[in-house]
Amino acid sequence: MLDEVVSRYKGQLAFALCPTPLNARCNKYVPRDVEAFKNSCELAKTGLAFWRTNREALAAF
């Protein structure tokens, strides 16, 4: 769906992605851990590290 939106509104929109782990271990605003998000701390760190290393390749990642 995002590819369609980008094609349709080329140059007229922007996305702001904010890796926010939904895990109480690394996000003080999450009241309790949920099994589905148990690895979100590590995944957010990995995404940020990838972005810092090669920003242009993040979309394909």
**What are the extents of the domains in the chain?**
14-57
pTM for this model (two decimals): 0.59
Per-residue pLDDT of the chain (61 residues; tens, 9 = 90+): 888 988 999 889 887 877 789 999 999 999 998 999 999 999 989 888 888 898 888 777 6
Rounded distance between C-alpha atoms, residue 57 and residue 37, angstroms: 25
For residue 58, which of 26, 46, 37 has the smallest C-alpha distance? Answer: 46
Cα(first)–Cα(last) distance of the chain, in Å?
17
Burial class (CB in 10 A: 0-12, 13-18, 19+), 3: exposed
